[in-house]
Amino acid sequence: MKEKIIRASITLFEQRGFSSTSVQDIVDLIGATKGTFYYYFKSKEQLLMDIHREYISDLLRRQEVILENGDWSSGQKLSAMVDMLISDIRKNGPSARVFFRDIRHLSEKNIRIITEDRDRFRLNFEEIIRKGAESGEFRKDIRPDMAAFGILGLANFSYNWFDPEGEVNPEELAVIYSVMILEGIVARN
Amino acid sequence: MKEKIIRASITLFEQRGFSSTSVQDIVDLIGATKGTFYYYFKSKEQLLMDIHREYISDLLRRQEVILENGDWSSGQKLSAMVDMLISDIRKNGPSARVFFRDIRHLSEKNIRIITEDRDRFRLNFEEIIRKGAESGEFRKDIRPDMAAFGILGLANFSYNWFDPEGEVNPEELAVIYSVMILEGIVARN
Amino acid sequence: MKEKIIRASITLFEQRGFSSTSVQDIVDLIGATKGTFYYYFKSKEQLLMDIHREYISDLLRRQEVILENGDWSSGQKLSAMVDMLISDIRKNGPSARVFFRDIRHLSEKNIRIITEDRDRFRLNFEEIIRKGAESGEFRKDIRPDMAAFGILGLANFSYNWFDPEGEVNPEELAVIYSVMILEGIVARN
Amino acid sequence: MKEKIIRASITLFEQRGFSSTSVQDIVDLIGATKGTFYYYFKSKEQLLMDIHREYISDLLRRQEVILENGDWSSGQKLSAMVDMLISDIRKNGPSARVFFRDIRHLSEKNIRIITEDRDRFRLNFEEIIRKGAESGEFRKDIRPDMAAFGILGLANFSYNWFDPEGEVNPEELAVIYSVMILEGIVARN
DNA sequence: TATGAATGAGGTTTCATTCAT
DNA sequence: GATGAATGAAACCTCATTCAT
């Protein structure tokens, strides 16, 4: 039941946003009552927090795996992470959109908790870029912090428009974006 | 008065989001009354629509100017647009954040109207990339559509984290990102 | 309208208590809507606070008048205050009962504010008794603090059972109680 | 278990009042579940009734003992009862406060039952005073009914402010109040 | 003896909107 | 131009109670 509520709410939060989705809407979708909702969740915000926590901790876990792969170059790791983000749209697109858009409806305290994890995720990107630059694999003059933000923006924006069942599939898009990040778009000879 | 209401509402919408900001909040901020609000706006949504229309039409106007500059290469035009987006944070950051986040609170009909303009803006990016690829300035194997989305994501994400008064100024960030887009991050010799 | 709401709520709070009276009950009684209620009061608690403030400040004002009467002995002042409390039942009985019973439903902060006034009222009793003892009018061995509490308990309890329209009228009861306090119940010769 | 529930509920009812205390609050305090509560009590009101019944019947039992003491004068009996009430604060203060304050949350039928006992208790006071007056121990012109109410108010009000562990102990306060009732506060020579 | 899941009625509060002035 | 009073729908949430286990 709890799981059913979470799934239904992700669907609705994605479509209408957190504050435009009422608890009534959620329980209507699964044929339950408001009483039941509040049996499982202390508040609507707590449900949102649960969604956030699950989303970001899952992402961090998978990022960890990539980071610890000793065989890969920095570029390969970066590509793997971009692939991870984009491939994830298929399964977790709705969660992700809720994550990006509705964080502000958490309480101050919860925002801090989530932001910490989100920052960790980003700093891991930054770290890889820094290492790649130090090792000579990447250009020495790039700013790892700005580059990390840029890559994340590029990859994450796909959640807003990319259709995993469309003409281009997620794996292909991941390759396209990895090349773009690593090589740029200017032609060479 | 109308202008005062718009400015106050942008501030509040940015901070709390459209649906968490009440008409009361808005008029309180400027010392007016709800009656006055409804004298100037048919509805809360209409105010949001006004904000959206103004934001996107301003952006399109300025993009036009860049597009029509016959002296610039595709790369220069692209850089100019990235610069335009990022430099704009200083003045229009709040409007932009409202634009990105709260479009969903417009009515279906209004969403269509705004989306049309937003698409036009993106397709202009796509067009430049296509022309650059055709002319040999850019790589032939890039997909202009995906690349355009990527560049927009990269540039627009800065609205969420970039502090124009911080260590790096907008013009510098624009250069950093233009180089990144055009040249990639991989080192060459 | 605001006054109507206050009067209706005093009636209902007295009968059913604060937490068993709903805002709906109140507005039903005067043919208004809940919206109207919240136009005039920030919350149900604030209405309760208004009632408390009005009740105690009125009482203090009238106590002041008695205190400042230079012609009266301590015993006369005490009697006058007992009379004031009991005669007040007729007009302010319901308010008083709400005041005594439902103070606990105020917020901590508001409880402190009201308690301050209530204490002042009591300390004024204490002060008169102390002066009467010092001047030799009252026995030297009485404790003004305990005596003040006792007199207040005795007088205020009448709010719970005394019917101003019954066999004994308020002025008579006030005399009965004044004599009892001053002279005791034991017979003398 | 039943006893544990009763004790926990008295604590909570005293602090927050009957209607502001939820069954959940009660079972939380003792680490039980709502199911358990309803195994032992038909309803929340029934628990309140149990508390009331126990409190008043205990008081009546002890009053009886005093009444039946043939050796005591009316004044001594009155003093003994005042002492009983005040000394009781130490052990039964919380129950007493619940008794005075929350009777109104019983059903009409239960209110009648409890009121009967409470009246009996009061009438026993009245009876002693009447006898004392008839025997010439007390003044002939006092009204036993009004005097009984007054004494009860005076004594019971101490439940609202008296700290049994404070500067004055209960036995001392009982003496102070007995003297006050019997002798009054006016000085004699 | 005890529990955990579920409910439904009703509670307080918010709020966009209307309208007479 | 501007306002203040009023509304009604709907929001979040609480809670006494039931019941299968």
Read off the pLDDT of residues D40-98 as tens digits, 9 standing for 90 and up.
999 999 999 999 999 999 999 999 999 988 889 888 999 999 999 999 998 888 999 99
Tokens 């971009």 sit on residue: A82
Residue D189: per-residue pLDDT: 62
Distance CA B105, CA B101 (A): 9
Q: Tokens at residue A161, please?
A: 């428009």
Contact C173, C162 (CB under 8 A): yes
Contact list, C20 vs chain D (CB under 8 Å): 19, 105
Residue B186: per-residue pLDDT: 74
**Residue B77 neighbours by CB distance under 10 Å:** 22
The answer to whether the CB atoms of D158 and C149 lie below 8 A apart is yes
Contact list, A156 vs chain B (CB under 8 Å): 153, 157
Distance CA D43, CA A145 (A): 62
Contact B75, B142 (CB under 8 A): no
Distance CA C100, CA A182 (A): 76
Instruction: Give chains near D: 3+ CB pairs under 8 A.
Output: C
Residue D139: per-residue pLDDT: 85
Distance CA C44, CA C18 (A): 9
Instruction: Among A138, A160, A187, select the one facing B185 at the smallest CB separation.
Output: A138
How close, in Å, is residue B68 to chain A by CA atoms? 22
Look up the CATH number of domain A43-183. Answer: 1.10.357.10
Tokens 């858009």 sit on residue: A101
- CA proximity to B162, closest of B101, B87, B99: B87
Residue C81: per-residue pLDDT: 94
Is the pLDDT at D3 greater than 70, yes or no? yes
3-state SS assignment for residue D186: strand
Residue A187: per-residue pLDDT: 66
Distance CA A10, CA A102 (A): 11
What does residue A143 show for φ and ψ, rounded to 5 degrees? Answer: -95, 110
Q: What is the 3-state secondary structure (H, E, C) of chain D?
A: CHHHHHHHHHHHHHHHCCCCCCHHHHHHHHCCCHHHHHHHCCCHHHHHHHHHHHHHHHHHHHHHHHHCCCCCCHHHHHHHHHHHHHHHHHHHHHHHHHHHHHHHHCCHHHHHHHHHHHHHHHHHHHHHHHHHHHCCCECCCCCHHHHHHHHHHHHHHHHHCCCCCCCCCHHHHHHHHHHHHHHCCECCC
- CA proximity to A29, closest of A13, A42, A40, A45: A13
Distance CA D27, CA D36 (A): 8
Residue B189: per-residue pLDDT: 63
Instruction: Among B19, B155, B186, select the one facing A20 at the smallest CB separation.
Output: B19
Distance CA D89, CA D96 (A): 8
State the best of B185, B186, B189 to mutate against chain A, taking most chain A CBs within 10 Å: B185
In order along chain B (189 residues), what is the average pLDDT of each group of 10 residues? 91 90 92 91 94 94 91 91 93 92 90 95 94 88 92 94 93 92 75
What does residue B137 show for φ and ψ, rounded to 5 degrees? Answer: -70, -40
How close, in Å, is residue A19 to chain B by CA atoms? 6
Output the average pLDDT for chain D.
90
Residue A53: per-residue pLDDT: 95
| Residue C146 in contact with partner chain D when CB distance is under 8 A | yes
Residue A189: per-residue pLDDT: 62
Q: Tokens at residue C50, please?
A: 């208004």
Task: Tell me the CA distances in angstroms from B11 to A136, B32, B35, B58, B93, one per residue in order.
Answer: 45, 16, 21, 19, 10
How close, in Å, is residue D39 to chain C by CA atoms? 26
Which residues, listed in sequence order, are joined to residue C114 by a DSSP beta bridge? Answer: none
**What is the greatest pairwise CA distance in chain C?**
67
pLDDT in single tens digits along all 189 residues of chain C = 899 999 999 999 998 889 889 999 999 999 899 999 999 999 999 999 999 999 999 999 999 999 988 889 888 999 999 999 999 998 899 999 999 989 989 998 999 999 999 999 999 999 999 998 888 888 888 899 999 999 999 999 999 999 999 999 999 999 999 988 887 667 666
Q: How far apart are the first and last CA of chain C?
A: 60
Contact call for C and A: 3+ CB–CB distances under 8 Å: no
Is the pLDDT at A99 greater than 90, yes or no? yes
Which residues, listed in sequence order, are joined to residue C138 by a DSSP beta bridge? Answer: D186
The full DSSP string for A115-130 is HHHHHHHHHHHHHHHH
Residues by CB within 7 A of strand F: list them: A 19, 21-25, 34-35, 38-39, 42-45; B 1, 32-36, 38-39; C 1, 32-36, 38-40; D 19-24, 34-35, 37-38, 43-45
3-state SS assignment for residue C92: helix
Distance CA B171, CA C188 (A): 102
* Residues composing chain D: 189
Distance CA D93, CA D76 (A): 24
Mean pLDDT of A109-116: 95
Q: Tokens at residue D66, please?
A: 């005093």
Which of the four pLDDT bands, split at 50, 70 and 90, describes residue A52? very high
| Residue B6 in contact with partner chain A when CB distance is under 8 A | no
* pLDDT-above-70 percentage for chain D: 97
The Å distance, CA of A18 to C1' of E5, is 26
Distance CA A90, CA A163 (A): 8
Q: Tokens at residue D145, please?
A: 């009914």
Q: Where are the domains of chain B?
A: 1-41, 43-183
Residue with more model confidence, D30 or A70:
D30
Residue C189: per-residue pLDDT: 62
Residue A140: per-residue pLDDT: 86
| Residue D120 in contact with partner chain C when CB distance is under 8 A | no
Distance CA B11, CA B16 (A): 9
Task: Tell me the CA distances in angstroms from C54 to C36, C48, C81, C96, one per residue in order.
Answer: 21, 10, 18, 11
Contact call for C and D: 3+ CB–CB distances under 8 Å: yes
Contact C158, D145 (CB under 8 A): no
Where do the DSSP E strands lie in D31-187? Answer: none
Which residues, listed in sequence order, are joined to residue D138 by a DSSP beta bridge? Answer: C186
The nucleotide lying nearest D24 (C-alpha to C1') is: F15
Distance CA C142, CA D158 (A): 17
The rounded Cα B176 to chain-centroid distance in angstroms is 19
3-state SS assignment for residue D155: helix
Q: Which CATH number applies to C1-41: 1.10.10.60, 3.60.10.10, 1.10.10.10, 3.40.50.410? A: 1.10.10.60
Each residue of C169-188: b (16+ CB within 10 Å) or e? ebeebbebbbbbbbbbbbee
Residue C187: per-residue pLDDT: 63
The Å distance, CA of A49 to C1' of F12, is 17
The answer to whether the CB atoms of D153 and C155 lie below 8 A apart is yes
Residue D182: per-residue pLDDT: 85
The answer to whether the CB atoms of D185 and C181 lie below 8 A apart is yes
Distance CA C164, CA C9 (A): 22
Q: Tokens at residue D81, please?
A: 């009862």
Which value, in Å, is the radius of gyration of the alpha carbons in chain C? 19
Q: D158-186: per-residue pLDDT in tens?
A: 999 999 999 999 999 999 999 888 876 67
The Å distance, CA of D35 to C1' of F21, is 12
What is the chain C residue with the closest CA to D16? C104
Q: Tokens at residue A44, please?
A: 């609507």
* Residues composing chain B: 189
Query: For residue A27, with 0-12 CB atoms within 10 Å meaning exposed, 13-18 middle and 19 or more buried, which class applies?
Result: buried
- CA proximity to C155, closest of C87, C82, C63: C82
Q: Tokens at residue C104, please?
A: 């606990």
Which residues, listed in sequence order, are joined to residue A138 by a DSSP beta bridge? Answer: B186
**What is the greatest pairwise CA distance in chain A?**
67
- CA proximity to D62, closest of D41, D39, D92, D104: D92
Residue B2: per-residue pLDDT: 87
Which residues, listed in sequence order, are joined to residue B186 by a DSSP beta bridge? Answer: A138
Q: Tokens at residue B76, please?
A: 């220069």
Residue D136: per-residue pLDDT: 86
Q: Which nucleotides of F are covered by protein (CB under 7 A)?
A: 1-20
∠ CA D156-D161-D164, rounded to 5°: 90
Is the pLDDT at A113 greater than 90, yes or no? yes
Q: Which residues contact B187 (CB under 8 A, 6 or more apart)?
A: A136, A137, A138, A139, A140
Distance CA B65, CA B72 (A): 12
Q: Tokens at residue B170, please?
A: 């907008």
Q: C83-123: per-residue pLDDT in tens?
A: 999 999 988 999 999 999 899 899 989 999 999 999 999 99
